[in-house]
Amino acid sequence: MAGRIVDARVVVTCPGRNFVTLRLETEDGITGLGDATLNGRELAVAAYLTEHVVPTLIGRDSARIEDTWQYLYRGAYWRRGPVTMSAIAAVDTALWDIKGKTAGLPVYQLLGGRSRDGVTVYGHANGETVEDVLGEVARYVDLGYRAVRVQAGIPGLTTTYGVGRDRLFYEPADAAIPSEATWSTERYLAHVPTVLARVRQEFGPELRLLHDAHHRLTPIEAARLGRALEPFALTWLEDPVPAELQEGFRLIRQHTTTPLAVGEVFNTVWDCHRLITEQLIDYVRTTVVHAGGITHLRRILDLAALHQVRSGSHGATDLSPVCMAAALHVDLAVPNFGLQEYMRHTEATDAVFPHSYRFADGQLHPGDEPGLGVDLDEELAARYPYRPASLPVNRLEDGTMHDW
């Protein structure tokens, strides 16, 4: 028995980028970790945890994961939202870590055991020119990846989402006050199909290809893009439209057979229940950290399984190794796993969060350590103080604010 929670600490560290981590400790000396990182809004979640959650955790039975989730969700009255749900996620993830360590089992065993041998991941190939992109795809193939997301610079635009300065470690949060990018849907729609055509032509039919439109199109524009990409057989077109409007996907669906993925900004099942039950999407990209932890992500994926929607959890670098480990345990266990995004963390981040998950042959394996298999080196973390960094904003060429 792990017993009651006697300590709860929020650790903010910036080994290259900001991470917020909750560490819980029980009376038996068992510790659990949960990721609470919300890119560009880190201190809001840290304050939510410190001011409103941590005081309610001390003395609580660490074994009662579901009850604690319900307490934090129903008990807040102000439900949902990325700040609240990331805070709940951190507590939930840390409690699963503790339960695993208490049982002497990796978390995936607590979730029903493995449903597959490993977790197939996709990497991010990106470059300014088509030639750069082809070189980057080749690099991922050489590294063993079986699935690659393809993002390219758009002629006429100075910066484009997904195209970074550092190829392996893409980080869009680049300034304390948001930097401003310029967007043109016309330029984008004219160019992107030519890039995917070249990549498919060079690499043949077996490599799985993906593309992220990053919430910038209207439904009919997305329908047109989906149709234009059909010959290149994408595994998915991601975030075609801003997804507050779940009904918007009906229009896209009427026009294209390109599979659709969405959900990295969703916080609860209520953001995607219609998308799932009406089969308007193929992959739901909700994550452990932003969608209420392992407990709530599994609830979303169970609903998705009933409707033949598969998982495709967000795995960008702004989700810490604690979230990545938790995602891998879920991915290994659920029947309807699809694909896991995997952007490598920097060496500094990996040193602050030593972890047992490993990449081999295009797959990640969470390892068999009890719990999540991730630690936090607090001494090292303390050497990297918080640095304000925001995600950019987007304007059309005439200055109109647009979705980033």
Residue (97 or 171) nearer to ligand EZ4, CB: 171
Q: Which lies closer to ligand EZ4 via its Cβ, residue 56 or residue 390?
A: 390
Specify the residue, 23 or 314, whose C-beta has the smaller distance to ligand EZ4: 314
Beta carbon of residue 161, minimum distance to Co ion (angstroms, whole number):
9
Binding at 316: pick from Co ion, ligand EZ4, none (beta carbon under 5-8 Å per type): ligand EZ4
Closer to ligand EZ4 by CB, 72 or 339: give it. Answer: 339
| Rounded distance between C-alpha atoms, residue 392 and residue 381, angstroms | 26
Spatial contact of 319 and 289, defined as CB atoms under 8 Å apart: yes
In whole angstroms, the minimum distance from the beta carbon of 188 to ligand EZ4 comes to: 15
3-state secondary structure string, 243-256? CCCCCHHHHHHHHC
In whole angstroms, what is the distance from residue 137 CA to residue 127 CA?
Answer: 10
Which partner, Co ion, ligand EZ4, none, binds residue 271 by CB below 5 to 8 Å per kind?
Answer: none
Chain centre distance of CA 102: 27
Task: Report in angstroms how near the CB of residue 336 gets to Co ion at its nearest.
Answer: 20
- The residue among 60 and 211 lying less far from ligand EZ4, judged by its C-beta, is 211
CB atoms under 10 Å from CB of 56, counted, come to 15
Q: Which of 140, 161, 283, 357 is catalytic?
A: 161
Binding region for Co ion (CB under 5 A): 212, 264
Backbone angles phi, psi at 22, to 5 degrees: -100, 130
Biggest CA–CA distance in the chain, Å, is: 62
Smallest separation, CB 53 to Co ion (Å): 28
Min. distance of Cβ 276 from ligand EZ4 in angstroms?
19
Contacted by 39, from ligand EZ4, Co ion, none: CB < 5 to 8 Å by type = ligand EZ4
Q: Is 214 a catalytic residue?
A: yes
Of 97 and 318, CB closest to ligand EZ4: 318
CB of 32: closest distance to ligand EZ4 in angstroms? 24
Residue 6 site contact among Co ion, ligand EZ4, none (CB < 5 to 8 Å, cut-off depends on kind) = none
Helix, strand, coil % over all residues of the chain, rounded to 5:
40, 20, 45
Comparing CB distances to Co ion, the nearer of 52 and 167 is 167
Burial label for 3, CB within 10 Å (0-12, 13-18, 19+), is middle
Contacts of 235 (CB under 8 A, 6+ apart): 122, 147, 208, 209, 210, 259, 339
| Residue 375, contacted partner among Co ion, ligand EZ4, none, CB below 5-8 A by kind | none
Q: Which is nearer to ligand EZ4, 5 or 85 (CB)?
A: 85
Residues that bind ligand EZ4 (CB under 6 A): 39, 172, 212, 214, 264, 314, 316, 318, 341, 391
161 as an active site residue: the answer is yes
Report the run of H or E that residue 147 belongs to, with start and end: strand 147-152
Backbone angles phi, psi at 157, to 5 degrees: -110, 135
Q: Provide, rounded to whole angstroms, the least separation between the CB of residue 240 and ligand EZ4.
A: 12
Q: How far is CA 278 from CA 142, 265, 301, in A?
A: 39, 20, 15
CA dist., res. 297 & res. 287, Å (int): 7
Q: Read out DSSP for 59-111?
A: T-BTT-HHHHHHHHHHTTSS--SHHHHHHHHHHHHHHHHHHHHHHTSBHHHHT
Handedness of CA 230, 231, 236, 240 (dihedral sign): negative
Partner whose binding site includes residue 318, from ligand EZ4, Co ion, none (CB under 5 to 8 Å by kind): ligand EZ4
Query: Minimal distance in Å, beta carbon 212 to Co ion?
Result: 4
Could you tell me whether strands 393-396 and 401-402 are parallel, antiparallel, or unpaired per DSSP bridges? antiparallel
Catalytic residue among 214, 215, 290, 355: 214
List all residues 6 or more positions away from 268 whose beta carbon is below 8 Å from its beta carbon: 79, 80, 85, 291, 292, 296, 300
What residues are annotated to the active site? Answer: 161, 214
